């Protein structure tokens, strides 16, 4: 028998830059990054793909980008900004995948060039997936425009689209070359989108950082009242915790452990059951509430700890129950648990709470207690989601 063994490591490195007015005349950060990245002997091009909602809310954006690059000699700006719908529809319909791929082909975006996505998490997911598979990988820059994408999904390494009616069925682990968090984009968010992303901060605080959870408790009213300083603090710490986790263990999730998916197994199913009428962050808040109640019913956390969790979510402005959880004797929720197990590709691994700030992975779920947790939320909270 003969054998050749292959082994190598690939280093990934990227920065998340926090700024304001990214394309302002007095802000050279983005232009400097492009000029300094890679080999200067190659002609670099950049294609912008923009979330339609962002494009409409920031009518100056196209002109600002063109003016920003008007005197650049190192970077060739593709003359057309590709505008696509935001929200989960962009991950559900292949036509948008094809539009981005066609633009990469038409404008000659090669592996020394860039595709920059400006938008919420769904747009970043889809564009990142296209960038990862075009030419086996073109340079991808993320410019998140929502709270959720700035503090969680936009700073990570995952890209995806939905397929077979399942969330994130097709996807890649392909880090961006840079992430630019521009707080100016947050100023035009709808109230639901402002609040929605904070659920990811509650999630990571509950499983990793008690002081951050306590900070969220103390600042819930400011966050709900759209205080920008408090929001920027929340985004920075949440993004920092997510990035620390990605680099500390299993960044490409080769195992079945998914601690950063605390509260997500039910959330993913709930999004589909409501035809994505509720935001991802809103579904995560309900998922956190459900898993926290379950943790209490299993004797893992105290009643007082549970009450603090639920009070924080309510003070931030979240609704914590949806009728879809209870439909058909919770059979849809049972299907969601099995789909999550399948998505992991191994044994079921669910993160629950051992204490505030301390997560615990379990490999079995007693569904009778899940049903009891659903009933608890239904009895305790009003039904106010569509």
Angle ∠(81,84,88) on CA atoms, nearest 5 = 150
Beta carbons of 72 and 102 less than 8 angstroms apart: no
CA distances, 326 to each of 270, 304, 350, 375 (Å): 11, 25, 20, 8
* Distances in whole angstroms, Cα of residue 190 to Cα of each of 269, 270, 279, 323, 328: 24, 21, 12, 24, 33
DSSP run (H or E) holding 359: strand 358-362
Q: Give me the pLDDT at residue 49, please.
A: 98
Q: 324-341: b or e for each residue (b if 16 or more CB lie within 10 Å)?
A: bbbeeebebbbebbebbb
The predicted model gives 245-263 an average pLDDT of 66
% of the chain with per-residue pLDDT over 70: 95
Q: What is the pLDDT of residue 256?
A: 41
Task: Give the pLDDT score at 334.
Answer: 85
Instruction: Round the average pLDDT of the chain to a whole number and report it.
Output: 90
What percentage of the chain carries pLDDT values higher than 90? 68
pLDDT beyond 60 at 386:
no
DSSP 154: G
Between 150-154, 181-185, 245-249, 283-287, the lowest mean confidence (pLDDT) is in 245-249
Q: Classify burial at 323, counting beta carbons within 10 Å of its beta carbon; exposed 0-12, middle 13-18, buried 19 or more.
A: exposed
Which has the higher per-residue pLDDT, 37 or 315? 315
pLDDT for residue 72? 82
Q: Is the pLDDT of residue 259 over 90?
A: no
Kindly state the average pLDDT of the residues 258-280: 85
Residue of 199, 173, 174, 195 whose CA lies nearest to 186: 195
What pLDDT was estimated at residue 125? 96
Mean pLDDT, range 67-91, rounded to an integer? 91
pTM above 0.85, yes or no: yes
Could you tell me the pLDDT band of residue 258, with boundaries at 50, 70 and 90? low
Domains and CATH numbers, the chain: 15-188 (3.40.50.1970), 191-380 (1.20.1090.10)
**Comparing 32-36, 237-241, 259-263, 281-285, which segment has the lowest mean pLDDT?**
259-263
* pLDDT, mean of residues 140-158: 93
Mean pLDDT of 51-79: 92
Distance from the Cα of residue 266 to its chain's centroid = 16
For 277-302, write each residue's pLDDT tens digit. Answer: 899 999 999 999 999 999 999 999 99
Token pair, residue 339, equals 């789909």
Alpha-helix runs per DSSP H in the chain? 29-36, 52-57, 61-68, 89-92, 94-106, 121-133, 147-151, 191-196, 198-208, 210-224, 228-248, 264-273, 280-297, 303-316, 327-344, 367-380
pLDDT of residue 35: 87
Contacts of 351 (CB under 8 A, 6+ apart): 207, 258, 259, 261, 262, 291, 359, 360, 361, 362
- Using DSSP bridges, classify how beta strands 15-19 and 75-77 pair: parallel, antiparallel or unpaired: unpaired
| Nearest-10 Cα torsion for 73, 75, 76, 78 | -150
């Amino acid at each position: 028998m003969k054998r050749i063994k292959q082994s190598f490591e690939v280093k990934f490195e990227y920065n998340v830059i926090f700024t304001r007015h990214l394309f302002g005349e007095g802000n050279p950060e983005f232009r400097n990054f492009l000029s300094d990245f890679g080999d200067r002997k190659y002609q670099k091009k950049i294609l912008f793909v923009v979330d339609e909602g962002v494009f409409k809310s920031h009518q100056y954006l196209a002109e600002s980008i063109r003016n920003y690059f008007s005197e650049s000699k190192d970077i060739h700006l593709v003359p057309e900004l590709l505008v696509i719908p935001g929200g989960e529809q962009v991950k559900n319909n292949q036509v948008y995948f094809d539009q981005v791929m066609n633009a990469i082909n038409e404008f000659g975006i090669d592996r020394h060039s860039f595709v920059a996505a400006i938008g919420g998490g769904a747009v970043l997911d889809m564009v990142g997936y296209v960038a990862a598979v075009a030419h086996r990988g073109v340079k991808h820059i993320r410019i998140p425009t929502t709270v959720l994408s700035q503090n969680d999904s936009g700073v990570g390494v995952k890209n995806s689209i939905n397929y077979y009616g399942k969330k994130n069925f097709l996807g890649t682990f392909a880090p961006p070359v840079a992430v630019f968090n521009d707080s100016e984009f947050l100023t035009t968010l709808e109230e639901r989108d402002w609040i929605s992303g904070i659920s990811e901060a509650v999630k990571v605080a509950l499983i990793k950082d008690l002081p951050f959870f306590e900070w969220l408790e103390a600042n819930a009213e400011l966050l709900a009242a759209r205080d920008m300083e408090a929001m920027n603090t929340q985004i920075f710490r949440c993004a920092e915790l997510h990035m620390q986790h990605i680099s500390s263990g299993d960044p490409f999730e080769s195992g079945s452990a998914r601690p950063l998916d605390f509260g997500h197994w039910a959330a993913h199913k709930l999004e589909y059951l409501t035809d994505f009428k509720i935001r991802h962050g809103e579904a995560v808040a309900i998922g956190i509430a459900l898993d926290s109640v379950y943790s209490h019913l299993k004797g893992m956390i105290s009643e007082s700890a549970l009450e603090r969790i639920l009070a924080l979510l309510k003070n931030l402005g979240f609704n914590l129950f949806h009728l879809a959880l209870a439909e058909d004797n919770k059979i849809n929720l049972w299907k969601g648990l099995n789909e999550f197990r399948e998505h992991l590709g191994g044994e079921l691994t669910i993160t629950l709470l051992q204490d505030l700030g301390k997560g615990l992975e379990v490999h079995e779920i007693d569904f009778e207690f899940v049903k009891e947790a659903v009933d608890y939320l239904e009895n305790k909270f009003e039904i106010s989601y569509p």
